[in-house]
Structure 1
Amino acid sequence: MHPRYGSPEQRSGSSGTVNERRFVESIEVDGVFNVRSVAGPGLAPGRLFRSATLDHLTPRGRNMLEKLGIRTVLDLRDGTERPESTAPAFWDVLHHPLYDPLTGPPRTGEITAIYRALLDERGRALTDAVRALAASPAPVLVHCTAGKDRTGLVVALALSAVGVPDPVIVDDYAWSGPRVRPHREEAVRNLLADLALDPAEHTRSVELHLDSPPSALQSALGHVRRRYGSVTGYLEAHGFTADDLVALRTRLLGEPELTVLHLSDVHASDRQDPFVGVDGAGRVRAAVDRASASRLRPDIVVVTGDLAHHRATATYPGLVEIFDEIRNRLGCPVLAVPGNHDDPVAFASAFGTHPVEYVRGFRILGVDTSSGALPRDELARLSHELATPAPNGTVLVMHHPPVPSPAATLAGRELVRTDELAAVLHGSDVSAILAGHFHHPMSGVFTGIPVWVGSSLAYLQDVGTPGDSVVAFDDPAYSLVRCSRAGVRALPIALRTPEVLFRSSPTLTATTS
Structure 2
Amino acid sequence: MRILHLSDTHLERTDAPNRHGVDATDSLRLMLAELRHQRGVDAIVVTGDLANDGAVEAYTILREMVGDLARRLGGTPVFYTTGNHDEREAFGKVLGSGHLAADGTDRVVSAAFPAEFGCAAVSDVDGYRFITLDSLVPGKVYGELGRAQLDWLRTELRTPSENGTVLAFHHPPLALDVPSQRAFGLRNPRELADAIRGGDVRAVLTGHYHLQLFGFLEATPVWVTPGIVNRIDLTTPYGTERAVRGASASLVELGGETGPMFHTFHARDPRAHETVYQLDAEQTRSIIERHAPAAQGK
| TM tier, smaller | 0.7 to 0.9
Q: Is the 8 A contact 1:409 1:463 kept in 2?
A: no
Letter in 2 for 1:488: P
Q: Offset at 1:418?
A: 1.5
SS of match in other structure, 1:357: strand
Provide the aligned C-alpha RMSD in A.
2.0
Letter in 2 for 1:284: L
Q: Is the 8 A contact 1:394 1:431 kept in 2?
A: yes
Query: Is the counterpart of residue 406 in structure 1 residue 163 in structure 2?
Result: no
Q: Is the 8 A contact 1:301 1:335 kept in 2?
A: yes
CA distance in 2, matches of 1:336, 1:432: 16
Structure 2 vs 1, CA of residues 268 and 467 (structure 1 numbering), >3 Å: closer, same or farther? farther
Structure 2 vs 1, CA of residues 291 and 357 (structure 1 numbering), >3 Å: closer, same or farther? farther
> What residue in structure 2 maps to residue 473 of structure 1?
244
Alignment map for 1:310-321 (pairs within 5 Å):
310-321=53-64
SS of match in other structure, 1:443: strand
Pick aligned residue for 1:364 from 110, 130, 148 = 130
SS of match in other structure, 1:412: helix
CA distance in 2, matches of 1:415, 1:408: 14
> What residue in structure 1 maps to residue 23 of structure 2?
279
> What residue in structure 2 maps to residue 293 of structure 1?
37
Q: Offset at 1:309?
A: 1.2
> What residue in structure 2 maps to residue 432 of structure 1?
203
Residues 177-219 of structure 1, C-alpha deviations (whole Å, 9 max, x = no match): xxxxxxxxxxxxxxxxxxxxxxxxxxxxxxxxxxxxxxxxxxx
Structure number with the higher helix fraction is 1
Pick aligned residue for 2:166 from 395, 398, 404 = 395
Alignment map for 1:72-471 (pairs within 5 Å):
258-270=1-13, 271-275=16-20, 277-294=21-38, 296-330=39-73, 331-353=75-97, 354-371=120-137, 372-466=143-237, 469-471=240-242
Structure 2 vs 1, CA of residues 288 and 476 (structure 1 numbering), >3 Å: closer, same or farther? closer
> What residue in structure 2 maps to residue 89 of structure 1?
none
Gaps of 5+ in 2: 98-119, 138-142, 271-298
Letter in 1 for 2:11: A
Q: Offset at 1:349?
A: 2.0
Q: Is the 8 A contact 2:56 2:94 kept in 1?
A: no
Q: TM-score, normalization: structure 1?
A: 0.44
Q: Offset at 1:485?
A: 5.2
Structure 2 vs 1, CA of residues 497 and 468 (structure 1 numbering), >3 Å: closer, same or farther? closer
Q: Offset at 1:285?
A: 3.6
Structure number with the higher strand fraction is 2
Aligned-pair identity in percent equals 35
Which structure has more RCO (C-alpha within 8 Å, separation ≥ 6)?
2
Q: Offset at 1:463?
A: 1.9
Q: Is the 8 A contact 2:48 2:169 kept in 1?
A: yes
Q: Is the 8 A contact 1:441 1:452 kept in 2?
A: yes
Count of aligned positions: 239
CA distance in 2, matches of 1:291, 1:477: 10
CA distance in 2, matches of 1:388, 1:447: 21
Letter in 2 for 1:491: H
Q: Is the 8 A contact 1:442 1:454 kept in 2?
A: yes
Letter in 2 for 1:381: W
Q: Is the 8 A contact 1:483 1:489 kept in 2?
A: yes
Letter in 1 for 2:57: A
CA distance in 1, matches of 2:41, 2:127: 15
Residues 320-369 of structure 1, C-alpha deviations (whole Å, 9 max, x = no match): 22233233222110000010011122112221233333112111211001
CA distance in 2, matches of 1:454, 1:361: 24
Structure whose alpha-carbon radius of gyration is higher: 1
Pick aligned residue for 1:488 from 260, 277, 280 = 260
Q: Offset at 1:272?
A: 2.0
Q: Is the 8 A contact 2:56 2:93 kept in 1?
A: no
CA distance in 1, matches of 2:216, 2:229: 25
Q: Compare 361-370 and 461-470 and name the one that shifted more.
A: 461-470
Letter in 1 for 2:165: T
> What residue in structure 2 maps to residue 196 of structure 1?
none
Q: TM-score, normalization: structure 2?
A: 0.74
SS of match in other structure, 2:131: strand
Structure 2 vs 1, CA of residues 452 and 383 (structure 1 numbering), >3 Å: closer, same or farther? same
Gaps of 5+ in 1: 1-257, 499-513
Q: Offset at 1:423?
A: 1.1
Q: Is the 8 A contact 2:36 2:69 kept in 1?
A: no
